[in-house]
Amino acid sequence: MTVITRFAPSPTGKLHVGNIRAALHNWLWARKMGGRCLLRIDDTDTERSEERFVESIRADLGWLGLPMDGEVRQSERFGLYQAKFEELRAAGRVYPAFESAQELDLRRKVLLGRGLPPVYDRAALALTPDEIAAKEAAGERPHWRFRLDHSAPIEWTDLVRGPQHFEPHLLSDPVIRRADGSWLYMLPSVIDDIDMGVTHVLRGEDHVSNTATQLQMFAALGAPLPQFAHMALMTGSEGKLSKRLGTIGISDFREAGIEALAINAMLARLGTSDPVEPVTDMTPLIERFDFAHFGRAPARFSDEELKGLNAKIVHHLPYEAVADRLPAAITAQVWPVIQPNLARVSEAADWLAVLGGDLAAPQLTPDDAAYVTQATEALAGIDFASDPWHALTSALKKATGRKGKALFLPLRLALTGMDHGPDMAQLLPLIGRDRALARLRAAASNIASA
């Protein structure tokens, strides 16, 4: 059996964190099993769906490094849905209902007030053909429901949640088509999964009750059942997949300088027993993806954890992976020197001034200014072809007796304008003899007033 998964976003907005996690899980499982992951654009809502969001979805998946193995659009499949609808209608599995939204809401409130589950009472099934014809003749247009089979429990073994059990009489017959003829999610999704040969449906646990009703739709259409995996939802600092979390999109990540690999590495492991670790490609995420590793507890998403993970990944990225995003002056020789000091690749440009620009000389105490003067004289006679930094500090330690911070910090300030940064042994040769001497002289003459 070829494993086939699908990612099915609605093009009514841009992809957010929850969407991305669903796409990633489906893609990882397909890749691990040597299968295929398909993109299904759920654009049955023609009023809210926009082509710009379709393009955005494709672009975001491309940036994330999640290429899809095929694409279908629900708006191009209405003929297939109609044919299957008629098949179910002929079999008595769909039926018209004429209650208004207000009527249904009132019935739900009455049931809840009595402490009963707000399940649709199937009143529409009692309508005779003449009564239905009379309503239609009067201009009433029905919505359509799928009739659940109450004869046996609905059961399946979820790949994450384990054995699942639903009593169908405690579920409302789902509305599958509106009065204006437009489709709701439930039935077209099943028809597509059958037609596309989907073998595994991976989605959030908020779809568990949908799965219960959709299993009966698969059976009613005479199709084999896919396997289902329902992952625990993500939470943030504001609780269950808050509005803020639900609106963080790819553009927000990119503008913040977050690597696609950091997003993938974090979302692949959230909610599992595996630690979130830095990666430099998708291979370890694919290899470790396992339904047995997922737990039932909510998966907590943290901006700060993502930023920290991003920095660790940046520290591991080879030059070839980032070269097209770096200024020309950040060469293959320079990158590993500044890399450990970056939280984002874009910060590499901040080191251009240190490497080859004009820096404002720091103000030094008279003692440090005199010390830097000695350093200038010592550096002038050092061979830059070997290890100028250690040669310089060794000579100064011997001549002045300084050590530790007193030995190194004034030199770093004079040479880089900062009190922290890359290993000076690696950085000094990149700064170069002439520029280093000029900076030392400027700092030695810039004595702070008492």
Structure tokens at 2: 């070829």
Q: Report the Cα 401 to chain-centroid distance in Å.
A: 54
Q: What is the DSSP letter of 16?
A: B
Structure tokens at 213: 């009703």
For residues 403, 406, 407, 412, the Cα torsion angle rounded to the nearest 10 degrees is 150
Structure tokens at 169: 């009489």
The Cα diameter of the chain in Å comes to: 109
User: Strand, helix or coil at 181?
Assistant: coil
Phi, then psi, of 302 in degrees rounded to 5: -130, 125
Q: Which residues contact 263 (CB under 8 A, 6 or more apart)?
A: 20, 64, 253, 306
CA distance 137 to 181: 17
Phi, then psi, of 433 in degrees rounded to 5: -60, -55
b/e per residue 196-226 (b: at least 16 CB within 10 A): bebbbbbbbbebebbbbbbbbbbebbeeeeb
H or E segment and range at residue 446: none
Q: Is 397 annotated as a binding residue?
A: no
The residue whose two tokens read 């208004």 is: 100
CA distance 191 to 185: 10
Contact 300, 233 (CB under 8 A): no
Structure tokens at 381: 């006679």
Q: Give the strand order in the sheet containing 299-300.
A: 239-240, 234-236, 299-300
Q: Is 176 exposed, middle or buried (0-12, 13-18, 19+ CB in 10 A)?
A: buried
User: What is the Rg, in whole angstroms, of the alpha carbon atoms belonging to the chain?
Assistant: 32
**Binding residue numbers:** 243
**Binding residue numbers for ATP:** 243
